[in-house]
Amino acid sequence: MKEINIKNVAITFAAALIIWFIPAPEGVAENAWHLFAIFAATILGIILKAAPMGTMCMMAIAFTALTQVVAPGDAGKSITKALSGFGDKVIWLIGISFFIARGFIKTGLGNRIAFLFIRVFGKSSLGLAYGLGLADVCLAPAIPSNTARGGGIIYPIMKSMAISFDSVPEKPETHRKLGSFLTLNSYYMNLIASSMFLTGTASNPMCQKFAANLGIDITWMSWAAAGFVPGLVAFFVVPLVLYKLYPPELKKTGNAPKMAAQKLKEMGPISRNEWLMLLAFFILLALWIFGGALSIDATTTAFIGLTLLLLTSVLTWEDVKSEKGAWDTIVWFAVLVMMASSLNELGFIGWFSDLIKVQIGGLSWQVAFPVIIVVYFFSHYIFASATAHVAAMYAALLGVGVSLGIPPMLLAMMLGFMGSIYGVLTHYGHGPAPVFFGSGYVDLKIWWLRGLEIGIVLLIIYMVVGGLWMKVLGYY
């Protein structure tokens, strides 16, 4: 597969040059405007898939350091600043969590958990949907790659269950029997699970970092507390709504528990490494929840968990080195955070926020709040990457909203939740989307139509239930 799309690379460079040579607007320093040109071109290149995300970010580092936009006249400080994102603790929280997630897959514990839930809940197609969803929710706190979680654990099990009931991807007339329903539901549940925990998907810690730049402190526990109730409501409501909108032809799946039991039998008793993985998982959860009281940072907790897995040989250093997704995430995450943070330090984010504020400045915060959330949610149609969307819009919209009087924690968390659930809209909207869509069970028109319907349901749940719940928590 060709990594570099020359045409789209040319478009990306052209966009950078056009922005670069446009005179900086009044109130924006020239170097801040030039950094914005590099940042905007990087985001455009990611959206256009001009090159892999890591390649785009390497280019961004090179041009940021070469042009000295972050430290004019100081070459040494420029490259140091361009590399500063790699020293950010949030980057390593997500990277280390990827390594820990490998333990669930390597030991088979992730599959065992999924089969256990299917054995309990899988007597009907709706129960099967809830069982797969519950497995995803249970794995979400420790597997920050929702692509690995959905594509690597849930999807293969879901597909095998559908095929076992003669709902086969290669036979379109059988899709509605079970496969179509399970495909959409598993994808939606993956995104709901992603929204519930800071470590549920890679873009969540990016939101945490951008919020911190504006003085808003989000911890692992505060995110989980805020996301639990709207996530739980969405967990129960979405399968029921989908069941009404797009019902499977097969309502009873009595053989599924037997199949799951057979799979568990084939796996044998829980192995030593699975027990150790489970122990590490509970230690991680306990320290993420109570770490604040013990003065243990969330990233330190992640390092403790990884150390335990390495010392007990659940993971080897070769496993860590070969976890390409983790290293890829560390690279692009560090670079995007560096550029976004530098834009904030150079005053660009403040200027842009003021610009938007002028347009909606006459609105009360109670009106501005839903406007900002809805605009952010539906603008995802033009983004092929949740990460690119967060990097491009989260900080600016948060700054605008806070300046209009929207309670900071309410807006920071709600924008954070949207970073997961807006993925329902399209077949390219989040990491696992191409995996589930690629099964062939759901055609494009249905995917987008159901996505819009479920997206509206999720918007209502998170804004109404989530908003009221955060009021109860005292977040505003």
DSSP 124: B
The most confident of 44-48, 269-273, 383-387, by mean pLDDT: 269-273
Q: Report the percent of the chain where pLDDT is more than 90.
A: 51
Cα end-to-end distance, the chain, whole Å: 50
Read off the pLDDT of residues 431-452 as tens digits, 9 standing for 90 and up. Answer: 788 888 888 899 888 999 999 9
Q: Residue 361 above 90 pLDDT?
A: no
The predicted model scores a pTM of 0.77
Q: Residue 408 above 90 pLDDT?
A: yes
Q: Dig out the tokens for 402 from the structure.
A: 């806070």
Read off the pLDDT of residues 253-265 as tens digits, 9 standing for 90 and up. Answer: 777 788 888 888 9
Q: What is the pLDDT of residue 1?
A: 57
Kindly report the average pLDDT of the chain as a whole number. 89
- Distance between CA 208 and CA 221 in Å, rounded? 12
The most confident of 108-112, 146-150, 397-401, by mean pLDDT: 397-401
- Distance between CA 116 and CA 112 in Å, rounded? 6
Q: Residue 54 above 70 pLDDT?
A: yes
Read off the pLDDT of residues 136-154 as tens digits, 9 standing for 90 and up. Answer: 998 888 777 787 788 777 8
Strand partners, 193: none
CB 395, CB 210: distance < 8 Å: yes
